[in-house]
Structure 1
């Protein structure tokens, strides 16, 4: 009998049992380690997260936009006749008064028309003066004739009166007396006729003078028109302010109505903000607003109010015009780039937090609420309300003082808990 072979066969089952037991122990350990890793909360460093606290205060709802300052008063300078740019006296950016000459234009035909109008006016004035002299002479002649007739009448009346006394004495015959009375009657009629002729002559002179004055007024008006057209060759600013644009070059030939330059007020300004169409629908006239001119070294925000809402939508935006009611900073000027906002309304005692990533107004989202004692964060359903700037209103899901993680943790929302690792000092 082979003892060694018998002992070998008897030890073989024992080795297998030990191997199986060892494998079971290792498997259980791996399972236990996996369960521990699965059940343990995932850890994130606090330095990698944005954590905000819920605050409560009056929530100012702002509608923001960007734009430029514009002149309240602008004047577009144009020419009224064909001309050529002879000289440029002022360039854009220069402050001007209403009498500042910006451009000098030249038009030889206009100078000729002015000379002709001046000559015609002078001739008409001479004709009027000549007529006045002739009329005075005619009136004097008529008045002299009337005076002579009146003198003759008085003589005839005296003669007739004397003969009336002498006829009774037989010194004067009745025939001579009757002739004297007839002479008086004829002279009285001639005096009346001469008075009528003098009155008619005066009336005729008056009507002629009116016609001549109307003709003179036409010549004067024509001369004034030509003089104004000549003066208009000197292009002046027209208002106090700043030359904002110059659209012509030296030597350029111009047609009537060419846009030459733009002058705008530099102290009386308004603001134009470009607002998204969806936000512009919330804006109404006279709403308070503020404009930021980004002035260095002083307050750059200026109080304003809404004065006009442009009905035209361009590229999904609407232009809002603001009247600047506050004191303008030193850097305020036409065409200055600005930012601003309109205060649409104020929500009293509103709960707000800093705007979470991907959050939208009037929506729901899952945010992790942080327990500052345990440093554990749990997903919580939050209901949002109004959005303004980088703040958003909370309608439900959190209370004042609670901390919420506003970083994007959407890939961890399946976890019940996240541990927030605080930095060690």
Structure 2
């Protein structure tokens, strides 16, 4: 047995001590590194962030929507009688005037009715003319009789006046003189009766003429109705504009009231915008608006005002109607797709900023405020107000000129600060 090796002290405790000391040193180094890492701010490149400045302006609150231009005036073309489509002269998309013939219809019965009405009118006009001639002849005959009686009366008066002077001389007997006076009296009565008969005859003729004229007007009206019905077989536009719809085909048999076509004005237009139901309560009649027709020219926008708000909600949206006030862009036409907005309010001297990501109107959120000198950003609480376009109102938490990071930094909100790394030139 090797007594030296047995009695020699063991080195294991020293080695263990050294290992423990080394482990402590490594742990301290790691803890120091972790503390330094925790205290050092997180660095984010500026190119990955959106930074906006707080401004103070008159904040225009807009309610946006999309829709189409519509004709301000439209005319639905229909037929009034049974007919067949004989010819189609104009097709949709064509500009028309009010006298442009779009469709020609045919109805043989209507042509026959018009011919009968024309013949009846001509017969009635001839009868009326004949009656006027007969009445004139009867009046002339009565006037002749009256003239003859008046002549006889004048002759009898002259005789009685002469006999009144000769009766004293005994040349004429009193009996003859009395007979002459009686004759004068009788002739006066006959003249008065004949005058009354003449007046009555004229009045009777006048009444008959009125009845005949009324009857003639009925025949004239019937003829005009039939003529209008015949003319209506030529379907005209009725207004200046554009043919928008054509709903019939050649040879098609039509019943009365069939919708044939639609003509709409192409210069007088209105706008229909579809907006969210939640925004509809912000809009009132006569509010100013703007409509964008996506024209390539600078005049692609036109001023307008709200004239109607549809009470019906469809798919969570409400339709509003705008009257276009300004000069229409060159590309404006019916059924053109548009977008627009209504100016529902203007908030004076409001603090605003470009809309941060995930921000909502009338809510609170945490944003990072950037110090441009130190390039450090610290989280602050912001209270938002009204939202419009891509801007939102700031009610509390920031002042004019401050810079806020509007990118989504929600995963860094637990940090006291973050460092914004500026790009080197």
| Structure 1 moving runs of 4+ over 6 Å | none
Matches within 5 A, 1:36-51: 36-51=36-51
- Say which SS state the counterpart of residue 263 (structure 1) adopts: strand
Deviations 1:123-153 (A, max 9, x none): 1111101111111111111112222222222
Write the deviation string for residues 5-50 of structure 1: whole angstroms up to 9, x where unpaired: 2365432322222222223323333333333333333332222222
Aligned residues, how many? 425
- Render the CA deviation track for 1:284-343: whole Å, top value 9, x for unaligned: 222222111111133211122222323333222222222222221111112211111111
SS of structure 2 residue aligned to 1:366: strand
**Residues 208 and 386 from structure 1, CA distance in 2 versus in 1: closer, same or farther, beyond 3 angstroms?**
same
Q: Deviations over 1:153-206 (max 9, x none)?
A: 233333333333444444433333333332222222222211111111111111
Query: What are the equivalent positions in structure 2 for 1:33-182 lying under 5 Å apart?
Result: 33-182=33-182
3-state DSSP of counterpart to 1:203: helix
- Give the structure 2 partner of residue 412 of structure 1: 412
Match of 1:10, SS? coil
Distance 2:8 2:91 in 1: 115
* 2:31 aligned with 1:31: yes
Structure-1 residue corresponding to 2:305 = 305
Secondary structure of the structure 1 residue equivalent to 2:378: strand
Range moving further from structure 2, 413-422 or 377-386? 413-422
Match of 2:13 in 1: 13
Deviation sequence 1:205-231 (CA, Å, 0-9, x none): 111111000101111111111111111
- CA 1:26 to 1:86, structure 2 compared with 1: closer, same or farther past 3 Å? same
Tell me the TM-score normalized by structure 2: 0.94
**2:370 — aligned with what?**
370
Measure the CA separation in 2 of the matches of 1:54 and 1:198.
104
Residues in 2 aligned to 1:350 and 1:184: alpha-carbon distance in whole angstroms: 113
Deviation at 1:367, TM superposition (A): 0.8
1: CA distance between counterparts of 2:165 and 2:378?
Answer: 149
Q: Tell me the SS of whatever aligns to 1:242.
A: strand
Name the CA distance, whole Å, in 1 between partners of 2:239 and 2:350. Answer: 50
Deviation at 1:93? Answer: 1.7
In the alignment, the residues of structure 1 paired with residue 260 and residue 70 of structure 2 have an alpha-carbon distance, to the nearest angstrom, of: 19
Task: Say what the alpha-carbon RMSD is for the aligned residues.
Answer: 2.0
Q: How many angstroms apart in 1 are the aligned matches of 2:101 and 2:59?
A: 53
Match of residue 423 from structure 1 = 423
After TM superposition, the structure 1 = structure 2 runs for residues 166-245 of structure 1, keeping only pairs within 5 Å, are 166-245=166-245
- The superposition leaves residues 351-405 of structure 1 with CA deviations (integer Å, 9 ceiling, x where unpaired) of 2111111111111101112223333222111111111100011122222222212
Instruction: In structure 2, list runs of 5 or more residues that go unmatched.
Output: none
- What is the rounded CA distance, in whole Å, between the counterparts of 2:298 and 2:19 in structure 1? 84
Partner of 1:274 in structure 2? Answer: 274
- What residue ranges of structure 1 are gaps of 5+ in the alignment? none
TM-score, structure 1 as length reference: 0.94
